[in-house]
């Protein structure tokens, strides 16, 4: 694993070129990026769950989780929902344009612990981005336990990462189920909350780890469902999203009680989160 930028360059990004822009839906685009410095691009690596600080000219920086897998070296995928000034400017950028990147930062998913377990992934909307990194990493590593993927979108045209979903749907040992909040003509799949998909899954909570990522409302509903199913808090893993400025544990914008999401997270177990006053759990 490469170190983050050297201390001298702590806040100075490296230049990265947009190699490709994948339109996931009307709100989400995936930017395929490569560092201009070829040596750095060749040695750069990261772990699923980590994030990059992305610089866009005149817009400052924002933390974006990495949605690609380190096995695909040479490029980094950042899937970005249009949400504010920086992400709107990023959405207007095209192939060949330049952004700044620093990272990777943050505590990744516990990949070693995941390797020996059945894995349940529950995601809503852009929440699939960091989980996509885990899923593809596990598949590339030949994960030999059951994988279940439950993905909720607002409407059928909001379904992102369609290429991945199609590929996972055809992979042996992977059960990939989709649902939408509101149907559209031509949609023959499930309609309803992602928690509605649990009925179709055979789950062995003691043998499983659940990875949950999505909007706070969804997280709360899914956590309740997992508790009903008998998942222990230590086997439920999620990622937290917070305003960040430095990304390296100094500026304190992402504080959650005595924890900093950029350093102690963004990946947390439910067991860890329950010791904190966390808005996502309390509503």
Partner 1 sequence: MKDKYILKKDHLLPLLRKLKKKHRLIAPLQNLHGDTLFTEIDQLDNVRLDLANQPQNSLKRFFFPQQEVLFTYRNPTSDSYRFETAAEERPPSLYFGVRPCDLSAVLYMDVVFSKNARDPHYLHRRQNTILVGLNCNAPFANCFCNATRNGPFIDFGFDLQLTDLGDRFLVEFDRSQGQEIIREWQQFFAAADETDVKAQYQAFLEARGRFSQQVHLDLAARRLADDQVPESVWQDLSMRCQDCGGCAYICPTCTCFTIRDRQTGDHEGERIRSWDACTFSGFTRMAGDHNPVDRQMRGIEKRFRHKLQFDMEKDNRPSCVGCGRCVNICFGGTDIVLFIKMTCGENP
Which residue of 142, 172, 258, 283 would you call a contact of partner 1, by CB under 8 A?
A: 258
Q: Which helix (H) or strand (E) holds 257?
A: none
* Shortest Å distance, C-beta 119 to partner 1: 27
* 283 touches partner 1 by CB under 8 A: no
251 binding partner 1? (CB under 8 A):
yes
Kindly calculate the radius of gyration of the chain based on its CA atoms and give it in whole angstroms: 18
250 contacts partner 1 (rule: CB under 8 A):
yes
99-118: contacts with partner 1 (CB under 8 A): 99-100
Measured from the CB atom, the residue of 177 and 261 that comes closer to partner 1 is 261
In the complex, minimum distance from the CB of residue 251 to partner 1, in angstroms, rounded to a whole number:
5
**What's the closest the beta carbon of residue 12 comes to partner 1, in angstroms?**
5
Nearest-angstrom CA–CA distance, 68 and 152: 20
Closest contact distance (angstroms) between CB of 144 and partner 1 is 37
Q: Does 245 bind partner 1 (CB under 8 A)?
A: yes
244-268 burial code (b ≥16 CB/10 A, e <16): bbbbbeeeeebebeebbbbbbbbbb
How far apart, in whole angstroms, are the C-alpha atoms of residue 127 and residue 149?
12
Tokens of 11: 């806040």
SS3 157: helix
Q: Quick check: 65 binds partner 1 (CB under 8 A)? A: no
């Amino acid at each position: 694993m490469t170190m983050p930028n050297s201390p001298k360059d702590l806040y100075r990004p490296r230049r990265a070129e947009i190699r490709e822009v994948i339109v996931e839906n009307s709100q989400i685009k995936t930017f395929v990026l490569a560092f201009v410095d070829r040596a750095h691009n060749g040695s750069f690596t990261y772990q699923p769950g980590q994030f990059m600080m992305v610089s866009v000219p005149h817009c400052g920086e924002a933390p974006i989780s990495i949605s690609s897998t380190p096995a695909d070296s040479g490029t980094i995928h950042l899937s970005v929902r249009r949400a504010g000034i920086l992400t709107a400017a990023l959405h207007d950028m095209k192939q060949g344009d330049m952004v700044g990147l620093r990272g990777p930062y943050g505590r990744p998913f516990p990949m070693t612990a995941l390797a020996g377990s059945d894995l349940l992934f529950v995601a809503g909307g852009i929440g699939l981005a960091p989980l996509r990194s885990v899923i593809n990493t596990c598949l590339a590593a030949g994960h030999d336990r059951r994988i279940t993927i439950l993905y909720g979108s607002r409407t059928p045209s909001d379904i992102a990462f369609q290429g991945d979903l199609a590929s996972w749907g055809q992979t042996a040992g992977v059960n990939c189920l989709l649902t939408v909040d509101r149907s559209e003509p031509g949609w023959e799949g499930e309609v309803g909350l992602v928690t509605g998909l649990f009925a179709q899954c055979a789950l062995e909570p003691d043998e499983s780890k659940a990875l949950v990522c999505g909007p706070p409302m969804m997280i709360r509903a899914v956590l309740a469902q997992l508790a009903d199913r008998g998942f222990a808090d230590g086997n439920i893993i999620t990622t937290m999203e917070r305003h960040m400025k430095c990304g390296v544990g100094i500026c304190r914008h992402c504080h959650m009680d005595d924890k900093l999401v950029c350093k102690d997270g963004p990946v947390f177990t439910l067991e860890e989160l329950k010791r904190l006053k966390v808005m996502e759990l309390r509503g």
